[in-house]
Amino acid sequence: MSQLVQSYSYLHRSAVRESAAGRSLALETSGGATPAGEAANPHFFSGFLTAPTTAATALLTVADVAAARYYRPSVNASLDPVVTADGDRLRFESFSGCCGVYARLDVLALGLDGDDVGHGTTNVDVNPPLRRALAGIGGLDPLRLAVGPEELAVRTFDGEFVEKKVPLPERWLRGFAEAQVLAAGFTLRAEIPAAEAAAVLRALPRPTLRSTARTTRWVVPAGRTLRPTTRPAPGAMCLPGPERLLTLQPVLRHATTVRVYAPTEPATADGAATAWEVELPGMRLTLMLSQSASRGFSGEGGVLHDLATGPAAADAERVAELLAWEPRVDVTELSARTGLPAGRVRAALTMLGTSGQIGYDLAEEAYFHRHLPYRAGAAETRNPRLPGARALVADGAVRLEGPLARVGKGDDAHVVRADDASGRLSCTCFRWAKYRGGRGPCKHVLAVGMVRGTAADAQAEATGTATAPTARSETAR
């Protein structure tokens, strides 16, 4: 797996400091993006946290995920969490080292008391001494929060400059893209009191040296709680690698409600990704689990449906010009402002997601904007099935025969079939036989979607009618 190097440059170490004025949590920022352009150490907020103990515990949860590998644990250096300022909230995000757990803390307007929240995205330093300090915060004393240095004049004079260089697997970046595509397909399946959620977690198996990465459990909503079941019965929700949910235990004592989100499609024995959202005073903490502990988000292939549409790259540039760290990205509004159909706007957002610029908020059922220092144009290099499909199309290796299509030549040809009822495409290749479309379409299915989309566009042009991209509808999982 190729790796980039993520460099962090901080003016100081983040710390919880005590003074005559009380406690303050100073989170130092590294290079990031703002409306004024790139900034070495942007400042996003100064003020107080209205629920300091809760905020400290929740922020520590996000940091714990960044420092953990739930599958094949190791002592590799962890990545510093990403913080995005949206004008009315702060979002702290992280991925586990194995890319199978995504965490996000949304500190909303009710959780902040101070200056206006800025706009932009950067990383924040979370070091071992800070984690110990966060774990020790308690009581009712106020806690002042500063995100980014307030006094840039001391930039190089105190000798506290901190620099980190951390290997960044490309799968971590792909995880950002895949997680938002998966989340957009989730629906609210259960809402239970925090005490009941804590009881469910207490009944989960504790990880041991013999823990298997393929452990999967199931629960069904039963009144105000979740009842365990032994199989994916109707209405059941998957708990994939359930020991990963134990990360939520410390924060549940501060919570009021827990919501569980899962895919709209019926559960299968192979399991499914899931998300748990913890409602806190003035905050929300979301923990999203991949389909199994051994399976990171980066391999899901959900972005391929949208990336296969012809104009996605050009549309992404048009949509990107209208994004400005909004807490809600409204697809309908973007469609009106760009003149693009809603389907093409969503495909453009997926393209932007491949460079980490788009996330999805389950509670608000809306996308949001962040800005990471990666190019959307590099999407194909991170998804090799795309250039493989384009090569098949360019070589004239796709032949449409009604509901069937033959892809390839000679002994290498495969048959792609469309289901009569759903229109879902399947293939005779080894990849499809192995995953059954569970990790995104194979290159043959992608190629058929491209050819059918081109044919539909040509027909629309001939008849003078407009069509939205067809790749997603024809190849939807």
Tell me the pLDDT tens digit for each residue of 394-430.
888 999 887 889 998 877 789 998 876 666 788 999 8
Position 15 confidence tier, pLDDT thresholds 50, 70, 90: very high
Convert the pLDDT of each residue in 174-224 to its tens digit.
788 788 888 988 999 999 999 999 999 998 877 655 554 557 889 999 989
Residue 288 — φ and ψ, nearest 5°?
A: -115, 130
Position 371 confidence tier, pLDDT thresholds 50, 70, 90: confident
210 vs 123, more confident:
123
Cα-Cα-Cα-Cα torsion 344, 348, 349, 352, nearest 10 degrees, comes to 170
Q: Is the pLDDT of residue 466 over 80?
A: no
pLDDT at position 475 is 36
Q: Residue 185 is encoded by which pair of tokens?
A: 């397909």
Q: Is the pLDDT of residue 46 over 70?
A: yes
Mean pLDDT taken over the chain: 82
Pairing outcome for strands 37-39 and 414-418: unpaired
Kindly give the residue spans of alpha helices, DSSP state H, lying in 418-475: 430-435, 443-463, 471-475
Q: How far apart are CA 289 and CA 272, in angstroms?
A: 9
In a domain, 428, yes or no: yes
Cα Rg of the chain (Å, integer):
23
pLDDT at position 156 is 38
Q: Are residues 141 and 9 in the same domain?
A: yes
Q: Are 10 and 28 in contact (CB under 8 A)?
A: yes
Task: Categorise residue 359: left if φ over 0, alpha if ψ from -120 to 50, beta otherwise.
Answer: beta
pLDDT at position 307 is 66
pLDDT at position 474 is 36
pLDDT at position 55 is 95
> Quick one: CA dihedral 265, 243, 362, 63, positive or negative?
negative
Kindly give the residue spans of alpha helices, DSSP state H, lying in 354-405: 379-382, 385-394
Q: Is the pLDDT of residue 437 over 80?
A: no
Q: Of the spans 29-38, 50-59, 226-235, 260-269, which averages the highest pLDDT?
A: 50-59
Residues in the chain: 477
Q: Are residues 335 and 404 in the same domain?
A: no
CB atoms within 10 A of CB 449: 28
Residue found under tokens 């100073």: 26
CB atoms within 10 A of CB 43: 20
In a domain, 265, yes or no: no
Average pLDDT on 338-357 reads 85
Closest CA to 450 of 402, 374, 408, 392: 392
pLDDT at position 471 is 40
Kindly give the residue spans of alpha helices, DSSP state H, lying in 13-104: 52-66
In a domain, 465, yes or no: yes
Domain boundary among 153, 168, 183: 168
Q: Are residues 333 and 393 in the same domain?
A: no
- pLDDT more than 70, % of the chain: 80
pLDDT at position 48 is 94
Average pLDDT on 232-255 reads 91
User: To 5 degrees, how large is the angle CA 352–CA 358–CA 360?
Assistant: 140
Q: How far apart are CA 188 and CA 280, in angstroms?
A: 18
pLDDT at position 374 is 61
Q: Are residues 313 and 393 in the same domain?
A: no
**Residue 20, SS3 per DSSP:** coil
Residue found under tokens 């998804």: 383
Average pLDDT on 77-94 reads 89
48 vs 294, more confident:
48
Q: Are residues 423 and 312 in the same domain?
A: no
Residue found under tokens 């299915």: 445
Q: Are residues 474 and 329 in the same domain?
A: no
Q: Are residues 10 and 151 in the same domain?
A: yes
**Residue 210, SS3 per DSSP:** coil
In a domain, 282, yes or no: no
| Helix (H) or strand (E) segment spanning residue 197 | helix 194-202
Domain boundary among 382, 417, 432: 382
DSSP 357-371: -EEEETTTTEEEE--
**DSSP at 417:** E
pLDDT at position 366 is 93
In a domain, 191, yes or no: no
Amino acid at residue number 322: L
Q: Is the pLDDT of residue 75 over 70?
A: no
Q: Is the pLDDT of residue 119 over 80?
A: yes
Average pLDDT on 65-86 reads 80
Q: Are residues 22 and 135 in the same domain?
A: yes
Q: Is the pLDDT of residue 240 over 60?
A: yes
Nearby residues of 239 by Cβ (< 8 Å), 6 or more positions away: 204, 216, 217, 218, 219, 245, 274, 289
In a domain, 238, yes or no: no
Q: Are residues 7 and 150 in the same domain?
A: yes
CA atoms within 13 A on the CB side of 142: 14
20 vs 460, more confident:
20
Q: Residue 109 is encoded by which pair of tokens?
A: 């307007």
- Angle, helices 312-320 vs 342-353, to 10°: value is 80
Q: How far apart are CA 365 and CA 261, in angstroms?
A: 11
Q: Is the pLDDT of residue 351 over 60?
A: yes
Average pLDDT on 32-52 reads 91
pLDDT at position 303 is 59
Convert the pLDDT of each residue in 296-308 to its tens digit.
775 555 556 666 6
pLDDT at position 265 is 77
pLDDT at position 164 is 83
Q: Which residues pair with 239 in a beta bridge?
A: 217
Domain range for residue 406?
384-477
Residue 158 — φ and ψ, nearest 5°?
A: -110, 0
350 vs 287, more confident:
287
Q: How far apart are CA 400 and CA 404, in angstroms?
A: 6
In a domain, 396, yes or no: yes
Position 321 confidence tier, pLDDT thresholds 50, 70, 90: confident
Q: Are residues 150 and 13 in the same domain?
A: yes
Closest CA to 328 of 86, 151, 159, 142: 86
pLDDT at position 74 is 62
Number of domains composing the chain: 3
pLDDT at position 37 is 86
Q: Are residues 333 and 398 in the same domain?
A: no
Q: Are residues 329 and 464 in the same domain?
A: no
Q: Is the pLDDT of residue 159 over 70?
A: no
In a domain, 163, yes or no: yes
Amino acid at residue number 10: Y
pLDDT at position 233 is 82
Q: Of the spans 33-37, 60-64, 235-239, 302-306, which averages the highest pLDDT?
A: 60-64
Q: How far apart are CA 300 and CA 63, in angstroms?
A: 24
Q: 1-15, 94-108, 313-327, 376-390 — which is least confidently predicted? A: 376-390
**DSSP at 474:** H
